[in-house]
């Protein structure tokens, strides 16, 4: 069976960051959910902090370079994406959005995506719903119903709905979505251009 590729985007900026901790747990849970369904999985984690300067350059020049280009390729070629951001000023971080900004417009179209966020207070609990999900809807990604939000009390444990339960549920939803569909082929306008007769007809 074809190995399914999962790209995990982690936008945390400190080391270690709770965002990266959540990303690691989600990555492990998704890999486990796929393997238990008999599907080999390969997970790659992209730490956006490592690409911070290259992202600023790409915004200015219009093209990504070096390792950032590889990271963009990894996301574009993945069968699914796990996107994890810290909450800065009541929304996804600027670094997270900058990475989304440099993706090609159709890079996530039709791709299963699991959304997750960390914050310093539970008052940001709905950030996935009011900030992240609209962004990924715009990109025509297929977001799974369970978003995983982690506040300080979640890491402390003892909550009525423990973090691990939500992680496992979201991972299962992503794995189900991935296994229910063939890997989406990425259309390439350079390999397969619109024939000129069609362009003429549309003009």
Partner 1 sequence: MQFGVFSVGDVTPDPTTGREPTEAERIQAMLTVARKAEEVGLDVFATGEHHNPPFVPSSPTTLLGYLAGQTDRLLLSTATTLITTNDPVKIAEDYAMLQHLAGGRVDLMLGRGNTGPVYPWFGQDIRDGIALAVSNYALLRRLWREENVDWEGRFRTPLQAFTSTPRPLDGVPPFVWHASIRSPEIAEQAAYYGDGFFHNNIFWPSEHVRRMVDLYRRRFEHYGHGPADHAIVGLGGQVFIRTNSQDAIREFRPYFDNAPVYGHGPSLEEYMAETPLTVGSPQQVIDRTLGLRDVVGDYQRQLFLVDHAGLPLKTVLEQLDILGEQVVPVLRTEFAALRPAGVPEEPPTHGSLVADAAAELAAEAVR
Give the interface with partner 1 as residue ranges (CB under 8 A).
56-57, 59-63, 65, 189-190, 193-196, 199-200, 202-203
**112 Ramachandran zone, left/alpha/beta (phi>0; psi -120 to 50):** beta
CB of 202 to partner 1, least distance (A): 6
Q: Indicate the residue among 156 and 202 with the shorter CB distance to partner 1.
A: 202
**Min CB(65)–partner 1 separation in Å:** 5
Q: CA 85, CA 14: separation in Å to the nearest integer?
A: 12
| CA 57 to chain CA centroid, nearest Å | 22
Task: Choose between 57 and 159: whose C-beta lies nearer to partner 1.
Answer: 57
Least separation in angstroms between CB 100 and partner 1: 19
| Residue whose CB is less far from partner 1, 15 or 196 | 196
Cα distance between residue 195 and residue 172, in whole Å: 42
Q: Quickly count: other Cβ atoms within 10 Å of residue 176's Cβ.
A: 15
174: left (phi over 0), alpha (psi -120 to 50) or beta: alpha
Closest CA to 147 of 83, 89, 190, 191: 83
To partner 1, the closest distance from the beta carbon of 103 in angstroms equals 15
Pick 65 or 137: Cβ nearer partner 1: 65
């Amino acid at each position: 069976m074809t190995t399914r590729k999962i790209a995990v985007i982690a936008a945390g900026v400190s080391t270690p960051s709770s965002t990266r901790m959540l990303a690691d747990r989600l990555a492990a849970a998704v890999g486990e959910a796929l393997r238990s369904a008999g599907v080999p999985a390969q997970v790659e984690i992209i730490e956006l902090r490592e690409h911070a300067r290259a992202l600023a350059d790409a915004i200015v020049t219009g093209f990504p370079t070096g390792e950032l280009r590889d990271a963009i390729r990894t996301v574009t070629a993945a069968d699914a994406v796990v996107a994890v951001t810290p909450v800065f000023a009541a929304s996804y971080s600027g670094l997270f959005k900058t990475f989304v900004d440099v993706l090609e417009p159709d890079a996530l179209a039709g791709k299963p995506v699991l959304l997750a966020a960390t914050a310093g207070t539970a008052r940001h609990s709905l950030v996935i719903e009011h900030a992240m999900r609209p962004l990924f809807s715009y990109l025509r990604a297929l977001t799974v119903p369970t978003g995983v939000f982690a506040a300080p009390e979640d890491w402390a444990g003892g909550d009525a709905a423990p973090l691990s339960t939500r992680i496992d549920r979201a991972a299962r939803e992503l794995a189900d979505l991935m296994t229910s569909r063939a890997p989406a082929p990425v259309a390439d306008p350079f390999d397969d251009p619109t024939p000129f007769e069609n362009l003429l007809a549309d003009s």
